[in-house]
Amino acid sequence: MRVALFATCFNDSMWPETPKAVVTILERLGVTVEFPLEQTCCGQMFTNTGYAREALPLVERFADVFGEYDAVVAPSGSCVGSVRHQHATVASGCDRPALADRARTTAGKVFELSELLVDVLGVTDVGATFPHRVTYHPTCHSLRMLRVADKPLRLLREVRGIDLVDLPSAEECCGFGGTFAMKNSDTSVAMGSDKAHHVRETRAEVLVAGDNSCLAHVGGLLTRQRSGVRVMHLAEVLASTERDFAVDNELGDPPAATTTQHTDTEATT
Amino acid sequence: MSGTFIGMPKFQTAAKEALGNSQQRRNLQHATHTIREKRARVVEELDDWEGLRQAGADIKDNVLSHLDTYLVQLEESLTRAGATVHWAGDAAEANEIVTSLVRATGADEVVKVKSMATQEIGLNEALEEAGIAAWETDLAELIVQLGHDRPSHILVPAIHRNRAEIREIFLREMGHVGTPPPAGLTSEPRELAEAARVHLREKFLRAKVAISGANFAIAETGTLVVVESEGNGRMCLTLPETLISVVGIEKVLPRLEDLEVFMQLLPRSSTGERMNPYTSTWTGITPGDGPQQVHVVLLDNGRTDALADTVGRQALRCIRCSACLNVCPVYERVGGHAYGSVYPGPIGAILNPQLRGTTSEVDQSLPYASSLCGACGDVCPVKIEIPDLLVHLRTRVVDEHRGGMPSGEEIAMKGAAWMFSDHRRWEKAQKGAELGGRMFRKKDTIGRLPGPLSAWSDARDAPVPPAESFRTWWKREKEGQ
Ligand code: SF4
């Protein structure tokens, strides 16, 4: 199976640790992943702001670059949502029925990270260790466009040492919404403040989600509040291993409970 | 009597002001969450909810694609049953028809059943101009009218008010227009309802003319249907001699049996009840029983424009349940007034620009009044793909602007699209970002951004670009470049 990584333009330039983490996870699971250098952007920002004509060449480019792979993985619920739900619509809206067909076929092979891991590769334990108190925000497009349901949580539950706590009102939008965050910044911030409030209620150290753009929004509010909560992409949590916490171990840092849980889990696997 | 929406600023401006109203924020949050949870509970009870939604969507789609046939059939059935049918192309025409019908009866006042169509056309204002007083009899509409306020919700127009505010409005205003409330009125719901009951009773018994809308109009039989909770609508529909109903042309249903589907979908979606307390149906005139003059004004007012858009037309499936408002995180925070229309929330954002066109500032801003979170589409009982329609209408707004002086946004979007259309250009741009990233090396976040980007950084820290993109890393690590 030939698997390609679609890093997404935002991750490629702003959050490279996330696509690196995807490579780490997949290689750990024995999957070789390719990164076609011709890739750029899925066009979501253009489509959602009303610039379908500008999105069209990017829809075509996506089908050209990724059409030949058996599976394509992207660490972003909203970009995969755009590919799957909007690419064909953009093409038909611009009177390109043949491209719409090609976009539909390609989109059928594009998976958000948790989908690829759980549905395609059939794993929930990816061998990760992350000894922190974590809460998970299911981003809107993962939840309501892709319907990934509890797949990310099933992956997180298998992580050694993790203290996973429920986020109150988790299914409510964080208020990012792409250009909404700029065009309607006041409303966006009002929504984000409520999300940040719920995150702080959980006393989690780390807020995890499958979209760095939503995380940048809520994370930007959390750091402005000097809350001490950091944000992290699901892929980076799943890529973490014991080795990443070796320094903590030397300092005698991880609490006893975490260590015990770690051993227990290993004993059963 | 009530305020109007004419000349509203664009959504963003109105929303900013509304966000500062902490009492309204509290009232809305409480009310929307209460209805939201009630709805979720009663919807969960039905195993075939998805099947019902599909049936509702299918019935409406069939109506919309054969609207001409069903409307002619409706007119024939109504006429046969003794009703008089009038056709109104727009709001002005509808107001004129209703005004002259009321004048012909010699009455100088009317009682009104809660109706979105008459709100849409500004009928109360038109009647007032003609010297005819229009009394709203739905409790929430009454509160809005007495408070010289505007409705902010489809189902609960006074949702932005709490009990204490309602008591104040009653004490201040009721006496000017009829029976005053008792002096010792408290904010107990029972006492408030009793004050309204006494106030309205006088008007019901006196009224010669009633004006209503209709939730459904059955083509086969000519039956009109009003679904309500309080029974005040029933009073209006049965006591006066003349009944005038203003009905949007998309309200037609082929057969009486179709109600089976909608009477399950509507109450559960709107009030979160299994069945609403009062459903009134009437078919023209019944001699010796109820109104003996029955008029029906069939209203277009932009609906055929919406119908002409093969994608946008699904908005005409809407049964005005307001589930999409109650679940919307934007509506919950800014309230209904910011949408500049009697149709607020997600449905307002897709319906107003289609009914009114996209020439005004507020109508151009409405498709952007959403984070596209998708919660509205999930609850809509007739499966309107609201997020898709928002994007569709954004495209319409953008395309209508093309050709003239390009906006800053258009230039930026075109530039970005040009950059992304060739990966070598994209790589060059990334090199620039890497340089910026190295400059900010010592920082975790950026607190202040220049120019239009300050819309981000006013309340949110911004991420620092990394010193190396993923692509650069990949080329070095995996391809030895
Ligand atoms: S759009 Fe759907 S959810 Fe919203 S009011 Fe209309 S029928 Fe109800």
- In this structure, are residues B161 and B27 in contact, taking their beta carbons and an 8 Å threshold? yes
Which atom of ligand 1 is nearest to B269's Cα?
8
Partners of residue B223 on adjacent β-strands? B218, B283
**Rounded Cα distance, B135 and B124, in Å:** 9
Please indicate whether, in this complex, the C-beta atoms of B471 and A172 are within 8 angstroms of each other. Answer: no
Q: What pLDDT does residue B480 have?
A: 83
Residues contacting residue A269 through CB under 8 Å, at least 6 positions apart: A125
Please indicate whether, in this complex, the C-beta atoms of B329 and A175 are within 8 angstroms of each other. Answer: yes
CB atoms inside a 10 Å sphere around CB A219: 26
User: For B397-423, what is the mean pLDDT?
Assistant: 91
Res A252 pLDDT > 80: no
Res B420 pLDDT > 50: yes
Supply φ then ψ for residue B245, to 5 degrees: -115, 130
Cα dist from B337 to B6, B158, B177, B352, B372, whole Å: 12, 11, 25, 13, 20
Which atom of ligand 1 is nearest to B325's Cα?
4
**Rounded Cα distance, B50 and B379, in Å:** 10
Q: Which of B409, B369, B402, B367 is nearest to B388 (CA)?
A: B367
- Closest residue by CA, ligand 1 atom 3: B380
Asked if residue B350 has its Cβ within 6 Å of ligand 1, the reply is: no
Candidates A49, A55, A190; nearest CB to B333: A190
- Closest residue by CA, ligand 1 atom 2: B380
Please indicate whether, in this complex, the C-beta atoms of B465 and A14 are within 8 angstroms of each other. Answer: yes
User: For B419-436, what is the mean pLDDT?
Assistant: 89
User: For B373-399, what is the mean pLDDT?
Assistant: 97
- In this structure, are residues B125 and B91 in contact, taking their beta carbons and an 8 Å threshold? no
CA distance, residue B447 to nearest chain A CA (Å): 8
Please indicate whether, in this complex, the C-beta atoms of B459 and A221 are within 8 angstroms of each other. Answer: yes
Q: What pLDDT does residue A255 have?
A: 45
- Optimal mutation site among B364, B395, B426, interface A, most CBs of chain A within 10 A: B395
Q: What pLDDT does residue B277 have?
A: 96
Q: What pLDDT does residue A264 have?
A: 39
User: For A19-34, what is the mean pLDDT?
Assistant: 97
Helix (H, G, I), strand (E, B) or coil at A73: strand
- In this structure, are residues B460 and A220 in contact, taking their beta carbons and an 8 Å threshold? yes
What pLDDT digit, counting tens, does each position of A65-80 carry?
A: 999 999 999 999 999 9
Q: Report the largest interatomic distance among the alpha carbons of chain B, rounded to a whole angstrom.
A: 94
Q: What pLDDT does residue B463 have?
A: 87
CB atoms inside a 10 Å sphere around CB B399: 13
Structure tokens at B53: 């939604």
Beta-strand (E) ranges in B113-171?
Answer: 133-136
**Rounded Cα distance, A54 and B406, in Å:** 14
Structure tokens at B221: 């039989």
Asked if residue B43 has its Cβ within 6 Å of ligand 1, the reply is: no
For B147, half-sphere exposure in the C-beta direction (CA atoms, 13 angstrom radius) is 22
What pLDDT digit, counting tens, does each position of B122-180 carry?
A: 999 999 999 999 999 999 999 999 999 999 999 999 999 999 999 999 999 999 999 99
Q: Which domains does chain B have, with CATH numbers?
A: 50-303 (3.40.50.10420), 422-479 (no CATH)
Q: Report the largest interatomic distance among the alpha carbons of chain A, rounded to a whole angstrom.
A: 64
Q: What pLDDT does residue B439 have?
A: 76
Of A241-245, B177-181, B452-456, highest mean pLDDT: B177-181
Q: What pLDDT does residue B451 have?
A: 78
DSSP string over A32-70:
-EE--TT-----HHHHHHT-HHHHHHHHHHHHHHHTT-S
Residues contacting residue B14 through CB under 8 Å, at least 6 positions apart: B8, B334, B337, B338, B339, B340, B362
DSSP B276: -
State the Cα angle at A200 between B463 and B15, rounded to 5°. 70
Which atom of ligand 1 is nearest to B386's Cα?
1
Structure tokens at B151: 């409705």
Q: Which CATH number among 2.60.40, 3.30.720, 1.10.10, 3.40.50 corresponds to the domain A133-250?
A: 3.40.50
- Optimal mutation site among A184, A212, A222, interface B, most CBs of chain B within 10 A: A184
- In this structure, are residues B32 and B289 in contact, taking their beta carbons and an 8 Å threshold? no
Structure tokens at B162: 């709490």
Q: Quick one: what percent of chain B has pLDDT higher than 90?
A: 87
Res A145 pLDDT > 60: yes
Instruction: Give the pLDDT band of residue A246 (cuts 50, 70, 90).
Output: low
Partners of residue A231 on adjacent β-strands? A207
**Rounded Cα distance, B92 and B87, in Å:** 12
Res A245 pLDDT > 80: no
Structure tokens at B65: 């694609």
Please indicate whether, in this complex, the C-beta atoms of A54 and B478 are within 8 angstroms of each other. Answer: no
What pLDDT digit, counting tens, does each position of B242-282 carry?
A: 999 999 999 999 999 999 999 999 999 999 999 999 999 99
- Closest residue by CA, ligand 1 atom 7: B318
What pLDDT digit, counting tens, does each position of A200-214 carry?
A: 999 999 999 999 999
CA distance, residue B120 to nearest chain A CA (Å): 26
Helix (H, G, I), strand (E, B) or coil at B211: strand
Structure tokens at A95: 């009177």
Please indicate whether, in this complex, the C-beta atoms of B330 and A185 are within 8 angstroms of each other. Answer: no
Cα dist from B134 to B115, B128, B198, whole Å: 12, 7, 18
For chain B, counts of helices (H) and of strands (E)? 23, 12
Supply φ then ψ for residue A15, to 5 degrees: -130, 65
Domain ranges (residues) in chain A: 3-120, 133-250
CB atoms inside a 10 Å sphere around CB B306: 20
State the Cα angle at B401 between B398 and B407, rounded to 5°. 90
- Which has more confidence, A121 or B452? A121
- Closest residue by CA, ligand 1 atom 6: B318
Kindly report the average pLDDT of chain B as a whole number: 94
Q: What pLDDT does residue A266 have?
A: 38
- Optimal mutation site among B372, B397, B424, B444, interface A, most CBs of chain A within 10 A: B372
Helix (H, G, I), strand (E, B) or coil at A74: strand
Count Cβ neighbours within 10 Å for each residue of B73-111 and write b for 16 or more, e otherwise. bbbebbeebebebbebeebebbbebbbebbeeeebebbb
- In this structure, are residues B132 and B126 in contact, taking their beta carbons and an 8 Å threshold? no
Asked if residue B342 has its Cβ within 6 Å of ligand 1, the reply is: no
Q: What pLDDT does residue A262 have?
A: 41
Q: Which of A211, A196, A210, A70 is nearest to A150 (CA)?
A: A210
Residues contacting residue B469 through CB under 8 Å, at least 6 positions apart: A12, A13, A16, B430, B433, B434
Cα dist from B356 to A50, B68, B297, B320, whole Å: 19, 21, 20, 18
Does residue B33 sit at the A interface (CB-CB below 8 Å)? no
